[in-house]
Chain A
Amino acid sequence: MEVAKLTGVTRVYKIGEVETRALNGVSLTINDGEFTSLVGPSGSGKTTLLQLIGCLDKPSAGKVFIAGKETSSLNRNQRADLRKGTIGFVFQFFALIPTLTAYENVEMPLLLNGKSSAQRKERVMDLLNAVGMTGRAHHRPDQLSGGQQQRVAVARALAAAPKLILADEPTANLDTENGEQVMELMKRLNKETRTTFVFATHDPRVIRYASRVVTLEDGAIVKDANG
């Protein structure tokens, strides 16, 4: 079963007169349960590709299918609706909402999905438990270490039980130990919940966790290997 499919996707950014071709005719299929790593040098288009898969952005040309559905005709709000139930994000920077506690950050996608307070409570506690953050549930992000914040971010990405989680260099701002912890966590969740993961990275220690490695260069896929 394919979770996401891109066909001939091109993305050109325009800033004033300057055009940047971040992706150039990329075709890619992400299958259910994969743990895929997108690698390539900085500027090769990894983030852009993740954003297109995640419907945060629209391609300049080509098509993006999510669970078999073509997404180019969706407006902003429809794309937000699609994201909130089917796609979770983990960002490179620690992207928790600073005014909310760890608990409330994880709760946010559940609120947006209209879950009852009892359902939310149970789910949030389960997730914080799964990422080993139960003890810090009521701490604000600034009271957590980078690794702890990223684990909370993973819990938040999982909250709405999405089919697909997109992680953009999730370990880039973590030390080795914390980086490994986060990767272990994602790998474990991938096995236990069959959630599909795609993560961008150029950290070789991270790449070895991947079951598939897609290599980008100058906005094009130059290698796609099962690892």
Chain B
Amino acid sequence: MANYFKMAYRNLGRHRRRTFLSALALALGTALLMFIAAFFQGEMRSSMETTLRLNTGHIQVQDADYDPDKLSVAWEYLLENPEQAAAQIEALDAVQVATPRLLASGIVSAGDESVGVQIMGVVPDSAANDPYRNLVAGNFITADDREGIVIGAPLAKSLGLNAGDSLNLLINTSEGGVDQQQFIVRGIFTTGTTAYDKGIVFLPLSKAQAFSGATNHASLIFVLLKDREQAEDVKAALHGEGIKVETWTEMNELLTLVNDFSDAYLAIINLIILSITATVIVNTLLMSVFERTREIGILSAIGMKGRQVVALFLAEAFLLALAGVAAGSLMGWACSAYFGKVGIYFGDLGMSSDMLLNDRIFTILPLDSALNLIVTAFVITIAASLYPARIASRMEPVEALHKAQ
């Protein structure tokens, strides 16, 4: 055994540059695989978390006739006495927070500029609003504020607004008309997702109800669970006349689908990259086999058997794979760790609100995916090397010796 490795090591040393380049190819392949895996993980987790935190929550309770796309505040689409219902839901063990929200559509204007927005009435001190409490200026609204509003940083920028400035807000009311009022920008928030921040403004729930004419009503109860995997159980516990309960998987079909398939995408990418690196290794070994035809003939003449010849070349592949995969894992891990801290800035990708993404994606490389990749890269390299090794082992000694002369 040790002798195979000794010979393999020396054989690799015969063409240092070639050995180095093939190990490098394997290393780069492995590093790339790790980085792609880390990026995928980061992206999937970011889009899932961002979408759930900002958009859908884990569970929503709505009126049976509510259509989230219409943003209508007509009474027949709304829940009555939402605060009481929210309190009851929040009392459930699995629930972390439940809070009523009223969603309406409107137009913000300041100076000559106007922008269509979603107006969200929230219970200001609910923990569900934590993502909006990351303020670049001013303070968050309080429950009894009658003229305060909180807007996102990109919106503030496009309208040239600062904390303390006033703006005009026009709202579509329950009766089907419009109303408008001056508000003072109390705070400017950023969630890190430009696509979201540029299109939403916050009012205290009671003010939003009064302003839109939907007194004592809400569009939905936004629920976050302690563990999102319990959504179905919680849903089963919530039922009532004229309401519907939707879980995060139901509200995010596209996202769950993408998430479920991400492993398959990743597997395909892995396969492509690994077949390229495996080809490089196979090619290197094939060159060695043909260069060493004569040696194989000699070894065979002095009694080396086919499987021992295979072992000799596999030992070479093993050392090559060890060096390449080890270096590649280090590189891949270092890259993933770096971009896991610093993130990769993409900015506003203009994603639809069905699938939100943070402007900055932080790579995540879980240990098990890393180990998985290392083992896969290693096994595929060795498996591919079986081909040249078998060619070597099947050489007839006479042929090998004759060719050499």
Contact = CB atoms under 8 A, between A and B. Distances in A.
A92 B405 contact: yes
A95 B298 contact: yes
Given A56-B397, A100-B7, A77 B306 contact: yes
Interface in B388-405: 396-398, 401, 404-405
B7 A80 contact: no
A111 interface: yes
B227 to A, nearest CB: 60
Nearest to B302: A109
Contacts of A83: 301-303
Given A56-B398, A77-B305, 16 more contacts: A54-B301, A57-B396, A57-B398, A76-B396, A80-B303, A80-B304, A80-B305, A83-B301, A83-B302, A89-B298, A89-B301, A92-B405, A95-B294, A108-B299, A112-B302, A156-B302
Contacts, number: 69
B49 interface: no
8 contacts: A80-B300, A80-B305, A81-B303, A91-B298, A92-B405, A97-B298, A108-B302, A112-B302
Interface residues of B, number: 25
A93 B303 contact: no
B308 interface: yes
Interface of B: 3, 7, 10-11, 13-14, 294-295, 298-308, 396-398, 401, 404-405
Nearest to B13: A99
A97 B401 contact: no
Nearest to A77: B305
Interface residues of A, number: 28
Interface of A: 51, 54, 56-57, 76-77, 80-81, 83-85, 88-89, 91-93, 95, 97-100, 108-109, 111-113, 156, 160
A113 B303 contact: yes
B20 to A, nearest CB: 18
Nearest to B4: A111
A4 to B, nearest CB: 16
Among B301, B304, B307, B401: residue with most chain A CB under 10 A: B301
Nearest to B8: A99
Given A91-B298, A97-B295, A112 B304 contact: yes
Main secondary structure of the interface of B (DSSP, over half): helix
B401 A56 contact: yes
A130 B301 CA distance: 23
B301 A56 contact: yes
B54 to A, nearest CB: 63
Nearest to B397: A56
Given A80-B303, A83-B302, A156-B302, A51 B404 contact: no
Contacts of B396: 57, 76
B7 A84 contact: no
A167 to B, nearest CB: 12
Given A92-B405, A99-B7, A51 B302 contact: no
Given A91-B401, A92-B405, A97 B3 contact: no
Contacts of B298: 89, 91, 95, 97
A192 to B, nearest CB: 22
Given A51-B398, A91-B401, A84 B3 contact: no
Nearest to A76: B306
Can you list the 5 inter-chain pairs with the closest CB atoms, starting with the nearest?
A: A84-B303, A99-B10, A57-B398, A56-B397, A80-B305
